[in-house]
């Protein structure tokens, strides 16, 4: 297996389903079904997984993985992150970037002031968010990843500029 920098997280096994070894699978790809198009997936420990069958479930998918035939095997896989080698990803247009390539970049306000570092890009159902880690003792801040908040479209500079409404970072309680 290549170094972690060559690996891209595309899914997570979130639990077992049924008694025949099926697993609940959360796809982290922009098109959730595309997780089946990359071929074998690997865990951080190097274990290889092939998706034999995938069907939509309530929030994620139910997957049949080759070689996983009973519930005990499936239960042991809970929490397993699934990766592919980055060269198996589709090529992007010149103004596009993969979210995982933005992690670690500095996040700055429009005036150039450093806000913090991008540590994650969660999506809780309403769209992607920038999770920014600020200096010690200050809570992380979530910023919608929309053109209103992040107007730039070139993230190859190593810096993400955000425009925040007045009071967005205020942490005081309302009076």
> Do the beta carbons of residue 15 and residue 76 sit within 8 Å?
no
- Residues facing residue 51 across a β-bridge: 65
CA dihedral sign of residues 10, 16, 18, 19: positive
For residue 117, give Cα distances in angstroms to 102, 121, 142: 10, 12, 12
The length of the chain in residues reads 175
Find where tokens 């922009």 sit: 30
- The string of pLDDT tens digits covering residues 76-127 is 999 999 999 888 877 766 666 777 778 889 999 989 889 999 998 887 777 7
CATH topology for 4-88 is: Elongation Factor Tu (Ef-tu); domain 3 (2.40.30)
CATH number, domain 99-162, options 3.40.50.10890, 2.30.30.240, 2.20.25.240, 3.40.50.300: 2.30.30.240
User: What residue segments make up the domains of the chain, in order of their start?
Assistant: 4-88, 99-162
pLDDT, tens only, 136-162: 777 899 999 998 999 887 777 788 999
């Amino acid at each position: 297996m290549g170094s972690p920098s060559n690996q891209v997280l595309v899914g997570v096994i979130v639990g077992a389903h049924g008694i025949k070894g099926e697993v609940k699978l959360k796809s982290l790809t922009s098109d959730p079904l595309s997780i089946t198009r990359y071929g074998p997936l690997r865990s951080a420990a190097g274990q290889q997984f092939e998706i034999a069958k995938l069907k939509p479930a309530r929030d994620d998918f139910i997957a049949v993985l080759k070689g996983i035939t009973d519930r005990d095997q499936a239960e042991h896989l809970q929490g397993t992150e699934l990766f592919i080698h980055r060269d198996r990803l589709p090529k992007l247009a010149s103004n596009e970037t993969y979210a995982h390539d933005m992690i670690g970049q500095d996040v700055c306000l429009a005036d150039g002031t450093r806000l913090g570092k991008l540590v994650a890009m969660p999506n809780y159902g309403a769209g992607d968010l920038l999770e920014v880690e600020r200096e010690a003792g200050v809570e992380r801040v979530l910023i919608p990843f929309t053109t209103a908040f992040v107007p730039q479209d070139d993230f190859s500079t190593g810096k993400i500029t955000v425009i925040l409404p007045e009071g967005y970072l205020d942490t005081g309680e309302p009076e």
